[in-house]
Amino acid sequence: MSWLKRAREVADRVHPAGLLYSTYEQRLLAELDRDRLPEHVAVLADGNRRWARLNAPGRPLEVGYRAGAEKLKQFVEWCDEVGIGIVTLWVLSTENLTRDAAAVGPLLGVIEELFTDLAVTGRWRIRLVGDASLLPESMQCALAAGEMAGAGSHGMTVNIAIAYGGRHELRDAVRKLLATEAEKGTSLAELADTLEIEDIAGHLYTAGQPDPDLIIRTSGEQRLSGFLMWQSAHSEFYFCEALWPDFRRVDFLRALRSYASRERRYGR
């Protein structure tokens, strides 16, 4: 932790507003119903570029990416602290990759550092969720190494959605399903007669994991933008006005409180 960051944290605690938030955080934490917490939390960490334009005008957008990455690290810590089992962080969509190379390059660098930093702690199982083939080869190697570094961890699972798109995922799932069945000698007619929902779910990027119970999106946007299209059928949603780098632990605890107060019907 840099001296500047440490100084800011101390100042926040000493400042009356910081003390107030700290007290409020502790109250929210104490009031959480631990039996009604989500098992899987997913987040659309939106608003990094807008944050950079507002807080660092004239400076590269990378400032916002790095601020967002630091907040993602904090978010993972917060989830671990309250006992969340699985966290999914969407950091790069397939659409993001169509931006100008000068804008995408720095973002890819920040994402690779984030993935590696979380993996080298050895505390969590870090998994890539997305189409790695769309990424530079050197980045693919770094992400694969990160996954291996945390493979033996018994801690929380952290999915990092990179080069992820909901329609892209469904296309890949169907392709994998068809290829698997073809290897077995199953004809298309036979597959059409026997195909079940679970067969498709078993080929998603998140296969084997429970669907997200709670999906959080920041920056005031109230849409999923294709995030976990299949998995979010019965998810609860929480939308927050804060730009992602400004998302606070208080906001996270409020999201958990909101989730715990809801009656989940699963479409029934």
| Alpha-carbon span 150 to 124, nearest angstrom | 6
CB-facing half-sphere around the CA of 133: CA atoms within 13 A: 3
Residue 21 maps to a domain: no
| H helix runs in 185-248, sequence order | 188-194, 197-201
Note whether 146 and 121 are same-domain residues: yes
What kind and span of H or E run contains 92? none
Q: What is the CATH number of the domain that holds 95?
A: 3.40.1180.10
Distance of CA 142 to the CA centre of its chain: 19
Residue 7 maps to a domain: no
The domain of 68 spans 38-164+212-260
Note whether 180 and 252 are same-domain residues: no
Confidence of residue 161 (pLDDT cuts 50, 70, 90): very high
* Domain count of the fold of the chain: 2
**Apex 93 CA angle, 235 and 47, nearest 5:** 80
Averaged pLDDT of the chain = 90
Note whether 51 and 128 are same-domain residues: yes
Residue 230 maps to a domain: yes
Q: What is the pLDDT of residues 60-85, one digit of tens each?
A: 788 999 999 999 999 999 999 999 99
Question: Closest by alpha carbon to 118, among 92, 63, 80?
Answer: 80
Residue 10 maps to a domain: no
| Alpha-carbon span 104 to 107, nearest angstrom | 5
Residue 15 maps to a domain: no
Q: What is the pLDDT of residues 104-137, one digit of tens each?
A: 999 999 999 999 999 999 999 999 999 999 999 9
Residue 85 maps to a domain: yes
* Catalytic residue set: 46, 96
